[in-house]
Amino acid sequence: DGGITQSPKYLFRKEGQNVTLSCEQNLNHDAMYWYRQDPGQGLRLIYYSQIVNDFQKGDIAEGYSVSREKKESFPLTVTSAQKNPTAFYLCASSLDPGSWFYEQYFGPGTRLTVT
């Protein structure tokens, strides 16, 4: 049963703590992405990775970090430097960012609340 999993679904943290969000895919996709969604808003790109051991900053990378040590995994760390971390975080993957068939497959999301 192929897909993208994100865990946990809900995450609560105290201000000043780093927190890591998990994203795993078994679709054999090369590219993976992290987005942030605020209430009533669209998605904003945080980081993306087109290949293992390589990743690029998106539009709102400040206060976040990622790693891509395995093709299947792309964890996101929300650091204490992120000024407003409370949001809904979505992970996605796609087969080949250079091809016509560029649809992205999304995980169910992690809702992070920082107090």
Partner 1 sequence: SQQGEEDPQALSIQEGENATMNCSYKTSINNLQWYRQNSGRGLVHLILIRSNEREKHSGRLRVTLDTSKKSSSLLITASRAADTASYFCATEAQGAQKLVFGQGTRLTINP
Among 15, 42, 53, 83, indicate the residue that binds partner 1 (CB under 8 A): 42
**Cβ distance 93 to 112 under 8 Å?**
no
Indicate whether 2 belongs to the interface with partner 1 (CB under 8 A): no
Cis before 108 (ω within 30)? no
Query: 97-101: which pairs have CB atoms within 8 A and are 24 or more residues apart?
Result: 97/30, 97/31, 97/50
Indicate whether 58 belongs to the interface with partner 1 (CB under 8 A): yes
Looking at beta carbons only, is 4 or 78 nearer to partner 1? 4
CA 3 to chain centre: 15
Region near partner 1 per CB under 8 A, out of 14-22, 42-50, 66-74, 77-85: 42-50
Indicate whether 100 belongs to the interface with partner 1 (CB under 8 A): yes
* Sheet containing 76-78: order of strands: 4-7, 19-25, 76-78, 64-66
Compose the 61-90 pattern: x for residues touching partner 1 by CB under 8 A, - for all others. Answer: ---------------------------x-x
Region near partner 1 per CB under 8 A, out of 17-25, 30-38, 66-74, 76-84: 30-38
